Amino acid sequence: MSTLTLNAQPASMSLSENPFIGTLKPPANETEEERVQRARALQDAQKVSRQIDESLQETKRLLDRRKNGIRILLLGQAESGKSAVLKNFQLAFTPNQFRKERGVWKTVIQLNLLNSVKTILNVLTDNIDTQLNTPPPSPGSYSNSYNSSKIRRLHLGLSPLLSMETNLNKMLFTETSSGSPEISLPAGSKWKSKLGFPSVSRKSSSDEEPDRLTNSQNALISTFSKLLEASKEDISSLWKDEEVQRTLEEREVHLRDRPGFFLDDVDRIASSHYQPTDSDIVRGRVRTVGFEEYHLVSESAAMKGSEFYITDVSGMRSSRSSWVPFFDDAQAILFLVPLVFNQMLDEDPRVNRVEDSLTLWKEICANVLLANCNIIVFFNKMDILRRILASGAQVRKYVPSYGDTPNETASVAKYFKDRFKAYHKKLSPKPRTFISHETSAIDIRSTTALVVTVLDGITRANLEKSDMM
């Protein structure tokens, strides 16, 4: 066997021959001031070097910690219920942290309520414009409709509140989606922190100090809540008005089926003393453009200290190309399919929501990066599906291939489940088990129980893979 021999540096090498000593050796004729400056520069360089070393060590520690945690990716089209499922995870495993944020969600939920009011006003205004440009089918047929003067009075009465809402959105969310009443913000905007609460996004809550609201910001939030309370009766009357309901139905604006709907709870929510319930928080709507990773450290006795990294990726069509970088790191994917067969995408009204989910599903199943990944389907919004079917909507009108299959909840759910299962079997790079659940993510009792079961299954599957490796 050959031996590797290291040639030691000759003991006779002089200091002048050492290539590194020049940077340390004081220059000739150095003044005292220059010596002090050189010493200070050396100390600064050593400090920077230590900081870099510490940063690298911390990065390695976090990467090792993340590698040992459970990494879950939430996928699905926009408004499929991903954020609601995420909040159920938080409620199930980090309930104390979840409930500390009630104050944050009070403002968001009250903004959600006002957004629904703005949607109604926009629909009524559009309806008036249509009537002005279209002759009535019969004399007096428009006589009972909301007239333009009544809408103007409503706008005038709500104008202080709407103005306050604009300022509040600017303060909290920096930007909102143009042309949409929905609260929309870029990833990493730390909107919870802006309300004085630590954010669990990207790092644990203990790692981030919340911002402190100024007196003027606190006053703005308080005034908004009081103005909303003062407008409670007007909002309630608007929502309960039969003509308003008829107009919304004619325009196929189904507010109850939309995220962030709270108009049925006006009396409770439009109050300066309102405190959100767990259910309210799960139903609260803030759309994130981009992605957010949530680091959860379990508080539950059964999984105390277990760590989960859940990434919520925007489902907007323009954002889907950014999904791929997350695939390589995911141990499990929760894919959400909202079974709202009569709805179209906001981004493209020609595309049916369920068919769009099926297209996404095919791509996920066929992706070789996910060949070893557990993929679990949540057929979500079952509560809305039941309501749609009860209204008399026929599935075959929107999905012709449904044919003469019974127009009942169980049959509809089975039909779509069979379609997704067939593509899962056909397109997966190698055989894997098809796992699916029927969910209503805003039903916190059933969904929190479900996510515990799902996470237990993911943990067991990963342990089995580790043993096999």
Feature table: binding site: 288, 380-383, 441
Known binding residues for Mg(2+): 288
Helices (H), 231-381: 232-240, 242-250, 266-269, 278-283, 324-327, 353-366
Known binding residues for GTP: 380-383, 441
At 405, the amino acid letter reads T
Residue 32, class by beta-carbon neighbours within 10 Å (0-12 exposed, 13-18 middle, 19+ buried)? exposed
User: Among all chains, which residue has been given the structure tokens 């909507």?
Assistant: 393
Q: What is the C-alpha separation between 112 and 285, in angstroms, rounded?
A: 7
Q: For 220, what's the count of Cα atoms within 13 Å in the CB-facing half-sphere?
A: 17
φ/ψ region of 107 (left if φ > 0, alpha if ψ in -120 to 50, else beta) reads alpha
Q: What is the C-alpha separation between 458 and 436, in angstroms, rounded?
A: 13
Task: For the chain, give the number of residues.
Answer: 469
CB 433 within 8 A of CB 443: no
Q: What is the C-alpha separation between 112 and 253, in angstroms, rounded?
A: 16
CB 208 within 8 A of CB 200: no
H or E stretch at 312:
strand 307-313
* Cα distances (angstroms) measured from residue 436 to each of 351, 382, 424, 455: 24, 13, 11, 13
Give the closest residue to 236 by CA, choosing from 208, 259, 265.
Answer: 265
User: Which value, in Å, is the radius of gyration of the alpha carbons in the chain?
Assistant: 29
Q: What is the C-alpha separation between 282 and 298, in angstroms, rounded?
A: 19
Q: At what angle do helices 242-250 and 232-240 cross, to 10 degrees?
A: 60
Which residues contact residue 414 at a Cβ distance below 8 angstroms, ignoring those fewer than 6 apart? none
Backbone torsions φ then ψ of 408, nearest 5 degrees: -125, 155
Backbone torsions φ then ψ of 321, nearest 5 degrees: -65, -20
State the pairing for strand pair 332-338/291-297: unpaired
